[in-house]
Structure 1
Amino acid sequence: MREEELHRLLILAADDVRPARPAASGWERARRLRRARRAAGTAVLAVALLTGGAAVALRPAAAPPATTATPSRSPNPHPVPVQTPPADLAYPGHPLGRLGDPVGATLSARPVRRALALHQPVDPGSGAAGRIRVLGDDGVVRDLDVVTPAPTRDAGGNEAVPLKTGSLSPDGRTAAFAQTDEVIVVDLTTAAVRRHPLKGYLEHVLWSGGRLLVGDDDTTYELDRATGSARKLPVSPWDAVAPDPAAPPDVLHELGGTPPKGTRVRWGSDGTYRSIGAVDFRALPPGHRVEEFYGRGWQRGDRMARAGWITTGNVSGLEGVALLNAETHVVTHLLDLGRDRWKGCCEVLGWDSDGAVLLRHNPGGLLRWRPETREITGVTRNLFGAVSLSAG
């Protein structure tokens, strides 16, 4: 369409219908004007679109608007969970929740059928240790009045409370306490006490099924409680993992070292066999690992649990608990307990009957952790001091 024709249509579209004309001719006039307006509007729109389209076609392509990339977050970005406890723990109730109850009897007057735990209170302010207590499966806390073990000490004179995490046997019927040059064994079902002489600054006790292992700084003895005889075992008293009570009696695992190493030790009348392999962190998210283990490790089936200082991403020096496969030493789960706690706060104490890991959660608490279900609940609050459970 030429410019003069477009100009004429625009003038015609701007004309008004005169009300003085007759109605028929007025409606006809109005009809023509409406048609002209529509034609003019269509022409103007077409010219505008053509002109604009040409301008767009000739204009350089504009850069897309800047956007901020937001990384997507999966609720479970890694196949193996790394957990942290909830801010507010639930305490659904547990038999060990009575560990902090007042003493209700003496062991000599009322022996237990089976002990669930031993507890030696320690004042968090002064560090003064109290008498050892026995929690029976009847829920009554008893005073261990038949013997008073002395603190353990090493060659340098450093002392510690005599109750260790491995003191109570898996069946809850016997307790053992390492002492300098001897080990004390108490039958909790009869309150009978026996003392077995062994050379050394003994500090560690550990049950392997019905057998008792006793160790000093660098020596581990296997004690025959029936005869009192002992033989040395090539096992680290610090790193030996408390075995599953149902495991073969001549197999122990060691877990320790920096960087951590895992060792499987088998011994018998025909000698000793050791297999060594590094702890494997490949199943964890990148940057997650255990820097150093501490406390006693505990085995249940093909799994081992032990506390340690961990690194998560770029943050190191955290308290944590690792769950490993006993055969492959692959870390399958990691519990991140944070940094602002007592050093060495969170030692593993064993396994609950339903497969949950039981651990300290200082100051003064016990936790249950079920890695497979991600369930973390409280067991008891304000329980200061040493604890030994009948959890194998």
Structure 2
Amino acid sequence: MNEQDLRRLLTVSVEDVLPSQPATAGWERARRTRRTRRAVGAVALAVVLIGGGTVAALRPTAEPPPDLTVAPTVAPTVETPHSGPVQRPPTELTFPPDPLARLGDPATVPLSARPVQQALALFQPLDEEYRADGPVRILGDDGVMRSLDVVTPAPTRDEGGNEAPALKPGVLSPDGRSAAFAQTNELILVDLTTATVRRIPLAGYLELVVWANDRVLVGGDNRTYAVDRVTGAASTITVSAWDVAAPDPAAGREAALIETGGERGGLMMRSRTASKGTVRSEQRVTGQLLPAPYQVNEFYGRGWLHGNRLARAAWITSGEIDGAEGVAVLDARTGAVAHVLDLGRDRAKGCCEVLGWDNKGGVLLRLEPVGLARWNPETGEITGIVRDLRGMVALAG
């Protein structure tokens, strides 16, 4: 580079930058100009040193070498898929292969002849009058459907004589080895691995069961018992069998019991001790994370815990209707509603009860008229499991 070229470069480097673009473009152009000036200065210094024949040991500068890139390329980052707080199912569900897909198959062998090592689910078909239409079926981890032939649980009933099927969500233990059926004045425990039955006398109209670690919570008419799974010893506990969530199977015996309940505008989440059911904390269920006008009006069905997340079916206010069917996922520490699955207005009331979580963070639920579906709140993906399943289902944890 001769003296004339050097003079031309120095002249360019000191030209003013005219603010002919908006603010964002101006900041970018000024940044490029500063980089060009640093680059030209470095070239000029090198020419002077070489032209003068000067050899010197230069002291390292505190600043890093100049960046000659005019428009740096930013490598794209890969983020975990995440969906918004309100999600909707697709118009047409896909049905990928699933072990539970055989849940609608007929039973081929009685339990007494072939006990299970582990049950994946229990199913009882119902007729159009919502009454049992055959024995309870047991889907084993070997894919074989069995019939429960060692006992026939009677329908549950309340003090007014209203009846309901004996099989309900929560009946099957999380490990898939036992089933517990609430009955009037007793609890029936069935060991599915040995096809044996125990009957534990308990007073009252009992309708619901919840497996809580090594105990079974069973209740109905304003009372709940905690029954030891091994000894059968029972004691009363101050917990609502209607509102308590099924604990995470990974939680220990002393993990808090979480209740959600209340009515529109006053939904509450209550934490109770595992031993006696003493209230530890109480807070409002809030929907600040949801876009207006979405809100949860009322819960129904069993709630299910998975880590610090609680899933439960609900009636919601959506952008279309007040009273739509939905599923809510709450932060079990704060009561904040993190996700809502908006199932719309064209479904039967109480259609879509939550049946539990899978081990990958998917919520399993009824989704009439499909049958069973799986929803991942973090990605928004929802897929079908079983088509046209008429009856009651209980899943292992």
Shorter-chain TM range is: 0.7 to 0.9
- Alignment match, 1:52: none
By how many angstroms is 1:128 displaced?
4.8
Pick closer, same or farther for the CA change 1:297–1:275 going to 2, 3 Å.
Answer: same
Distance (whole Å) between structure 2 residues aligned to residue 280 and residue 80 of structure 1? 17
Is the Cα–Cα contact under 8 Å of residues 214 and 229 in structure 2 kept in the other structure? no
TM-score of the superposed pair, with normalisation by structure 1: 0.77
Is the Cα–Cα contact under 8 Å of residues 83 and 378 in structure 2 kept in the other structure? no
- Alignment match, 2:273: 266
Distance (whole Å) between structure 1 residues aligned to residue 337 and residue 319 of structure 2? 16
Is 1:292 aligned to 2:292, yes or no? no
Is the Cα–Cα contact under 8 Å of residues 365 and 381 in structure 1 kept in the other structure? yes
Is the Cα–Cα contact under 8 Å of residues 209 and 216 in structure 2 kept in the other structure? yes
Distance (whole Å) between structure 2 residues aligned to residue 225 and residue 100 of structure 1? 29
Matches within 5 A, 1:128-139: 128-139=132-143
By how many angstroms is 1:343 displaced?
1.2
1:291-347 per-position Cα deviation (integer Å, ceiling 9, x unaligned): 000000000001000001000135211000000111011111000011121210000
Cα root mean square deviation, aligned: 1.6
Is 1:378 aligned to 2:384, yes or no? yes
Distance (whole Å) between structure 2 residues aligned to residue 111 and residue 264 of structure 1? 38
Is 1:169 aligned to 2:176, yes or no? no
- Alignment match, 2:350: 344
1:224-244 per-position Cα deviation (integer Å, ceiling 9, x unaligned): 233332111111110000010
**Which structure 1 residue ranges, 5 or more long, are not aligned?**
1-77
Is the Cα–Cα contact under 8 Å of residues 365 and 373 in structure 2 kept in the other structure? yes
Counterpart residue type for residue 255 of structure 1: T
State which of 198, 208, 211 in structure 1 corresponds to 2:212: 208
1:144-172 per-position Cα deviation (integer Å, ceiling 9, x unaligned): 00000000000000000000101000000
State which of 319, 322, 330 in structure 2 corresponds to 1:316: 322
State which of 233, 237, 240 in structure 1 corresponds to 2:237: 233
Is 1:304 aligned to 2:313, yes or no? no
- Alignment match, 1:282: 288
What is the DSSP-based 3-state SS (H/G/I as helix, E as strand, rest coil) of the residue aligned with 1:112? Answer: coil
Is the Cα–Cα contact under 8 Å of residues 311 and 318 in structure 1 kept in the other structure? yes
Distance (whole Å) between structure 2 residues aligned to residue 311 and residue 272 of structure 1? 33
State the percentage of identical aligned residues: 60
- Alignment match, 1:95: 99
Q: Greater shift after overlay, 78-87 or 216-225?
A: 78-87
Pick closer, same or farther for the CA change 1:189–1:203 going to 2, 3 Å.
Answer: same
Distance (whole Å) between structure 1 residues aligned to residue 104 and residue 237 of structure 2? 37
**Which structure 2 residue ranges, 5 or more long, are not aligned?**
1-81
What is the DSSP-based 3-state SS (H/G/I as helix, E as strand, rest coil) of the residue aligned with 1:98? Answer: helix
Give the number of the structure whose alpha-carbon radius of gyration is greater. Answer: 1
Counterpart residue type for residue 160 of structure 1: A
Kindly tell me the number of residue pairs found equivalent between the two proteins. 313
Pick closer, same or farther for the CA change 1:91–1:314 going to 2, 3 Å.
Answer: closer
Q: 1 or 2, which has the higher strand percentage?
A: 1
